[in-house]
Amino acid sequence: MRITGHHPLWRIAAAVLGGYAFTWGFIALGMAGAFALGMSFHDAEHLTAIIGFLIYLVLFLWAFAARSLARVWAVTAGGALVMAGAASLIQHQLT
């Protein structure tokens, strides 16, 4: 792998922004799903926030360890879009 001048910046962006987007999608989906299954809102909120912190940490570290930067962006951005869309569908079903 050849490292160019901007390569570390793209890794940092993938770790911070991609990890945040993926974690946000996970928390939104987890909260909506847990609430739809009968868990109280605040319990679902706290549970998914705790798990989300761990997911963000794993994604942050993986963004620097992964060989393919494109794969990191695909997983984080794609996962964020899918989970946010699924969370939105669940929330619309609840209202």
CB contact at 8 A, 36 and 93: yes
Q: In this model, does residue 3 exceed pLDDT 70?
A: no
Q: Is residue 36 part of a domain?
A: yes
Type of residue numbered 63? A
pTM (predicted TM-score): 0.89
Domain that holds residue 33: 7-94
Distance between CA atoms of residues 95 and 93, nearest Å: 6
* Number of other residues whose CB lies within 10 A of the CB of residue 72: 23
Q: Write the pLDDT tens digit of every residue in 13-68.
A: 999 999 999 999 999 999 999 999 999 999 999 999 999 999 999 999 999 999 99
Q: Is residue 83 part of a domain?
A: yes
Number of structural domains the chain divides into: 1
Closest CA to 93 of 53, 33, 7: 33
pLDDT at 32: 96
pLDDT at 44: 96
Q: Is residue 2 part of a domain?
A: no
pLDDT at 1: 57
Type of residue numbered 43? D
Distance between CA atoms of residues 59 and 57, nearest Å: 6
